[in-house]
Amino acid sequence: MHRLVVGVLVALGSLLLPVPSAVALTATTTTLAASSAYAGEHSTLEIDLATGDGTELQDAPVTVERLLGGSWTTVATLTTDAEGHATGSAWLSRNPDRNVFRARYAGDATHDPSRSGDVTARLLRRSGRVTLGGPDRIVDESSVRLTTRWQTTEGEPVAGRVMVYRRVPGGAWARVRTVGTGADGVVALRIKPRVDTIWTARARPLTWVTGDRSGDHAVDNVPRMAPVRLPAAAPRPRISLPAQSRARRSGPHVVVSRIPDRMWRHMVGRSWHRGCPVGRSGLRLVRANYWAYDGYRRRGELVVSAGAATQFVRALRAQHRLRLPVRSMYRVDRFGWSDRLRGADDYESMAAGNTSAFNCRSVVGRPGVRSPHSYGRSFDINPWENPYRSRDGWVPNTWWVSRSHDQVAWRNRSHLRVRMMADAGFAWTYGVNDAHHFDARTSSGRVLLRGTCDAVACD
């Protein structure tokens, strides 16, 4: 009984004792600072851990984390020193989004956990250098490769977008293409300029490297064929014509078509007028590539008789195959109306050395006598170097009358040009008296000459 009473008293006493309350944790503050650094090098991470009243926490473990792909990854666990400070480091990526860090303290029995804010380590930019190089010479109609390289001054390759510009001498820069350098910092661009050009490459700065512009690189476009070499004393044509456009397709690329409306409107009142023996339906436009005196292939055009188009096509194809040069090949209506010829101005065309065909006009030096060119079956080639003996004398010059040239001037039937024209179905009708003039033969082999011409020439 005594023991029971004592036990009850003890139990009651324990119920009356005070219950200890939960221990209050001390708030903490974690701060993080990251130094600037170049990509690929280490940023210094400075961590400070203290209580709310500024008391440093010593020997406390702090975890440094990095944000990668949307998740935090542990970089290191550091221990604070007597001043609540810890120092670590982390390498920096070229991508700023991968250079975000934070420090986290897990807390202990007497201290609350805390975490720093997110800190992005600032990237220092390395100096970038862009170069562009390649051949400084290209043969017309071929291609060469230009190579652009972007790297740091230390030689580290840079992968990024590079803008390639070009200009012609005296012209303005124009962007050609934007290309991307690979992991090796290199990209190649194949070019096919048809003129002399100057090239440069520009790269805008990236987060970790500065942009740059390469030096200018000149590429000279040289002809496929050696230019015609004329005697130093030879006079040049009195009229200068602009070079015709470069050939765009291989071979002679001869195309025969009907006369387009716009072209016909330009011909009327110049190379064609009322009373001409052949009308629009009896004429054809012939476009063809030819080798010019400067060694480049260019594209010219003629207006010819529909009935003689086959011979012209043969001649133009053979001329191209044999690389026989032509000074220019513009339609003769380009030279306007001539009152004395009653047609397009053939005096001007000859003075320019222009090759032509159809022109409804009078014979040069014979007003009122219809020229064979009025029928579109006659072909005048390189008239400057192959003069015509008119009633008024030699035109367009006298210097070339007694001279020949293996490419552009002929004075006998053995010359390659005359033989080629004969094979194509043309007659060298007047020989040296009208060296530049050829007439298309009919299927029977005859030359159709209308009008009243003397035995000298009927150009």
Please tell me the CATH superfamily of domain 128-222, with its number.
SoxY domain (2.60.40.2470)
Query: What is the number of alpha carbons within 13 Å of residue 403 lying toward its C-beta?
Result: 14
| Residue 459: per-residue pLDDT | 65
Query: Per CATH, which fold does 28-124 belong to?
Result: Immunoglobulin-like (2.60.40)
Task: Render pLDDT for 200-242 as a digit per residue (tens, 0 to 9).
Answer: 999 999 999 999 999 999 999 999 999 999 999 999 999 999 9
Length of the chain: 459
Closest listed residue to residue 412, CA positions, set 397, 424, 425, 422: 422
Mean pLDDT in residue range 59-77? 97
| Residue 266: per-residue pLDDT | 98
Amino acid at 365: G
State what percent of residues in the chain have pLDDT above 90.
88
Tokens 């090098």 map to which residue?
Answer: 41
| Residue 15: per-residue pLDDT | 47
Strand ranges inside 56-142, DSSP E: 61-68, 71-79, 85-91, 100-105, 114-115, 119-120, 123-124, 128-133, 137-139
Task: Render pLDDT for 440-452 as a digit per residue (tens, 0 to 9).
Answer: 998 766 676 554 4
Kindly tell me if the per-residue pLDDT of 140 is higher than 70: yes
Q: Where are the alpha helices (DSSP H) in 299-388?
A: 309-321, 346-351
Task: Render pLDDT for 296-348 as a digit per residue (tens, 0 to 9).
Answer: 999 999 999 999 999 999 999 999 999 999 999 999 999 999 999 999 999 99
pTM for this structure? Answer: 0.79
Q: Which helix (H) or strand (E) holds 6?
A: helix 2-16
Sketch the domain layout of the chain as residue ranges.
28-124, 128-222, 255-440
28-124 shares its CATH topology with 128-222: yes
DSSP 358: -
Kindly tell me if the per-residue pLDDT of 16 is higher than 50: no
Kindly tell me if the per-residue pLDDT of 10 is higher than 60: no
Confidence of residue 457 (pLDDT cuts 50, 70, 90): low
For the chain, give the mean pLDDT. 93
Task: Render pLDDT for 382-407 as a digit per residue (tens, 0 to 9).
Answer: 999 999 999 889 999 999 999 999 99
For residue 42, what are its two tokens? 């280490």
Q: What is the dihedral of CA 344, 346, 349, 353, to 10 degrees?
A: 160
Confidence of residue 183 (pLDDT cuts 50, 70, 90): very high
